[in-house]
Amino acid sequence: MSIRRVLVVDDSRLQRRIITAALSRLGLDVAEAGSGTEALAICEAVPPDLVISDWMMPGMNGLELCRAFRALPREDYGYFILVTSKSEKEEVALGLEAGADDFLTKPINPGELRARIAAGDRIVRMQRELSETNRLVRETLEELQGLYESLDNDLIEAKKPQQSLISERFRDLGPAQVSLLLRSAAHVGVFPVSETRIGLYAIDVSGHGVSSALMTARLAGYLSSTSPEQNVALAQGPDGFLPRPPDEVLADLNQMFLGEIETELYFTMLLADADLATGRVTMAQAGHPCPAIQRADGRVEIKGPGGLPVGLIDGATYERFDVQLYPGDRLLLHSDGVDECVDGTGRLLGEDGVRRILQELRQTEGMAFLESVIWKLAEYAGRDDFDDDVSAALLEFKPVGKVP
């Protein structure tokens, strides 16, 4: 039984002995008290599982003892039975309001006493099982909270090397300039090929968290701007390094991730080879949002074949496409955190929204333009934090007269 310790309270010694004898035959540990005050002191020292108290006693009666018993601090539940010679509904209501769980009427029948204790035992047992379950839930929640805090710290640390991958967020290239924006697990970058050629890329790894951040950092290493011999987008030529066709690079990365790297992650990507002398930009797209081209007169074009993400389908091929840029034109590569930004009603910004932002910011250049894009997104979403990662790379060809 869950009920082991019982306190019998009655100013009549004979009545206490009768109840105690019946309880002892049930194998219970029984204590006695001759008054409500004495009983309360025992309850404070060693809380009983069950109190059987007479209602009518001098001094503190059973009803007052019940109220005081309920006010005592304790971890588990104590069952309280009032013994009375009264059976009126009004008296029962008073007892229930005071906190009594059950009632016995005098003279006490041993069979009824056993039944009342058995009923109380079921309630006490269920209450203790519930308390134990709640304790386990609290401990589990505390452990989860600790894990979440640890994960948050890991995410902060994981973002530090990722942020350091972009040591230079603005680069003046003579006839053109490049600006980079990076927020969270998406990534953008630029690497030099020659004096008049650069590579430009945007990557967005599936999922969030430490694994996505580390995978992004690893991908950025494959497109290193400091170690061209390790850059998968470059090939060694007789007079230095040459850009490889972007579609072939994406196909090689796809096979590499499916064949050599054991991971459930995949990523979208847009890789561009920009000729600064001619304005010709050759690109390949792997599930990444289509690039936006803004002409010098403010018109916006969004182009791209789409393509499959990298790391999903074995043998996937990718399509190469060209864009011709002229002085005053610019090219924007961005993550899906931009065009998939949602407002308060759940409506996506979409390509039309990207066009609108570019047209509204046509007079803004470089890093100021990218920061203004963030402000526009926050204004559209109605908040400063976004559901998805936001990154962007902006290649701007300088207008005639601004080229040094």
pLDDT in tens, the chain (404 residues): 788 999 999 999 999 999 999 999 989 999 999 999 999 999 999 999 999 999 999 999 999 999 999 999 988 889 999 998 766 677 788 888 999 999 998 888 889 999 999 999 999 889 888 888 888 888 888 887 777 666 556 555 555 554 444 556 888 889 999 998 876 556 788 899 988 999 999 998 887 666 777 777 788 888 887 888 889 999 988 888 899 999 999 999 999 888 766 667 889 999 999 999 999 999 999 999 999 999 999 999 999 998 999 988 999 999 999 999 999 999 999 999 899 999 989 899 999 999 999 999 999 999 999 999 999 999 999 887 777 778 899 999 999 766 55
Q: How far is CA 129 from CA 77, 132, 133, 141, in A?
A: 11, 5, 6, 18
Rounded CA-CA distance 53/35 in Å is 9
Strand order from edge to edge, sheet including 390-397: 170-172, 176-183, 390-397, 330-334, 292-294, 300-302
For 331, what's the count of Cα atoms within 13 Å in the CB-facing half-sphere?
Answer: 32
Q: What are phi and psi of 325, to 5 degrees?
A: -110, 145
Tell which CATH architecture fits domain 5-134.
3-Layer(aba) Sandwich (3.40)
Task: Give residue for tokens 């791209």.
Answer: 304
The residue count of the chain comes to: 404
Domain boundaries 165-397, corresponding CATH code: 3.60.40.10
Intervals of CATH 3.40.50.2300 along the chain: 5-134
Cα angle 30-31-35, degrees, rounded to a multiple of 5: 140
Q: What is the CA radius of gyration of the chain?
A: 38
Q: Which two tokens stand for residue 403?
A: 């080229």
> What's the confidence (pLDDT) of residue 152?
57
**pLDDT the model gives residue 284:** 97
Helix (H, G, I), strand (E, B) or coil at 15: helix
CATH 3.60.40.10 residue ranges for the chain:
165-397
Q: What is the pLDDT of residue 374?
A: 92
Instruction: Specify whether the backbone of 156 is left (phi greater than 0), alpha (psi in -120 to 50) or beta.
Output: alpha
Torsion 167-170-173-174 (CA) sign? negative
The DSSP output letter for 366 is H
pTM for this one? 0.61
Question: Kind and range of the H or E element at 89?
Answer: helix 89-98
